[in-house]
Amino acid sequence: MRERATIRFLPDGHRLHLNDGPIDLILDADGHQAEIRRAYLAAAARFVTILEELCAELPLLRRRATHSAELPVSPIARRMADAVTPYCNQCFITPMAAVAGAVADAVLATMTEVACLRRAYVNNGGDIALHLAASENYTIGMVERPERPSLFGTLKVSSGSPVRGVATSGWRGRSFSLGIADAVTVLAETAAQADAAATIIANAVDLPSHPAVLRIPAREIAPDSDLLNLPVTRGVGPLSAAEIVRALKAGQSVADELRSRNLIHAAALCLQGRVRITRNCRDGIRSLTCHSELSTEPAFRSTIEEHLCQK
């Protein structure tokens, strides 16, 4: 048996940190102690088999999604494929675009199946699956630059809204982006859906063939990238205000389209200090509010710290 995953409590003794190869999760749960324990144990037991499962189908998961593509077998891989299929006609996308969110969803589902929890989240490198019992909520901070502890906004997700997934994509993140957004944060019903949509919207925040944007074929950086030799963004020079607005508008029109197709519930797009948000959010979602300073609310802070330490 492979013995490589490590599972430990973070120094606060409450949040659990699970790592296995590139999968890095932070879990938190509120509820009775015994329920939390049960949830953590179930999460740990589920977690240790995930990497093997996904690696077994890795070649398939790195292939471009199409309506007629062979479907993967493992449940998480299936979630990934399902999350990206809605986009397969409009652009190049592989199931890997939803891997982080799909893993977060699967681990959260394992926890809530065995335990009765007030609130819980699984944060997979900034792609977060949420559980909220009636009249509970989470406040989540959004970060545009992973290396900088400042927020471009906060969002509040309450139990009444259908949102249970939050994901962020951008060229500064761990995964490659075809666009120039610093960060696009998406709210959707699942983390896998949010993950895939954030990728699509971040790709659309773009200024094609702009000289200030450095693009490199993906495989020149990572020889096994699923993006083949598509040009991925590796640097963005200073842009004029008009250019920033143009790029954000391009992204926003895609975000609005996804919202009208019920693929997402809201999105916040961030480029060089400017933020755009999808119009008229649905009932139950508090609109994204922008802050220039860190809030001091404790729950809020810890989410940000996690978000940062994941990057």
Nearer to other proteins, 164 or 172 (CB): 172
- How far, in Å, CA of 194 to CA of 250, rounded? 19
Question: How far, CA to CA in Å, does 207 sit from each of 88, 89, 200, 236?
Answer: 22, 22, 15, 10
**Which of residues 14, 32, 148, 174 is near other proteins by CB under 8 A?**
174
**Which of residues 71, 116, 217, 220 is near other proteins by CB under 8 A?**
220
Residue 284 structure tokens: 């139950």
Q: Determine the interface stretch with other proteins among 103-111, 214-222, 260-268, 294-302 (rule: CB under 8 A).
A: 214-222
Nearer to other proteins, 3 or 293 (CB): 3
Residues 208 and 117 sit within 8 Å (Cβ to Cβ): no
Q: Determine the interface stretch with other proteins among 8-16, 67-75, 105-113, 274-282 (rule: CB under 8 A).
A: 8-16
Q: Determine the interface stretch with other proteins among 19-27, 128-136, 259-267, 268-276 (rule: CB under 8 A).
A: 19-27
User: Closest approach of Cβ 233 to other proteins, in Å?
Assistant: 16
**Which of residues 55, 116, 212, 228 is near other proteins by CB under 8 A?**
55
Q: Residues 94 to 153: which contact other proteins by CB under 8 A? A: none
Residue 39 host element (H or E): helix 33-56
**Which of residues 71, 116, 214, 222 is near other proteins by CB under 8 A?**
222
**Which of residues 67, 134, 135, 224 is near other proteins by CB under 8 A?**
224
Residue positions counted in the chain: 311
Nearer to other proteins, 102 or 207 (CB): 102
Residue 145 structure tokens: 């630059």
- How far, in Å, CA of 221 to CA of 266, rounded? 32
Give the relative orientation of helices 33-56 and 75-84 as an angle to the nearest 10 degrees.
80
Count other C-beta atoms under 10 Å from residue 4's C-beta: 10
Nearer to other proteins, 7 or 245 (CB): 7
Nearest CA among 285, 25, 280 for reference residue 138: 285
Count other C-beta atoms under 10 Å from residue 14's C-beta: 13
235 part of the interface to other proteins, by CB under 8 A: no
User: Closest approach of Cβ 310 to other proteins, in Å?
Assistant: 10
**Which of residues 30, 44, 112, 118 is near other proteins by CB under 8 A?**
44
Question: How far, CA to CA in Å, does 195 sit from each of 48, 49, 57, 152, 270?
Answer: 22, 22, 19, 19, 16
User: Closest approach of Cβ 111 to other proteins, in Å?
Assistant: 15
Compose the 260-299 pattern: x for residues touching other proteins by CB under 8 A, - for all others.
----------------------------------------
Question: How far, CA to CA in Å, does 102 sit from each of 14, 79, 291?
Answer: 24, 6, 29
59 part of the interface to other proteins, by CB under 8 A: no
**Which of residues 73, 116, 214, 221 is near other proteins by CB under 8 A?**
221
Nearest CA among 306, 97, 55, 273 for reference residue 192: 97
Which residues are near other proteins by CB under 8 A?
Answer: 1-9, 11, 13, 20-22, 24, 41, 44-45, 47-48, 51-52, 55, 58, 174, 220-224
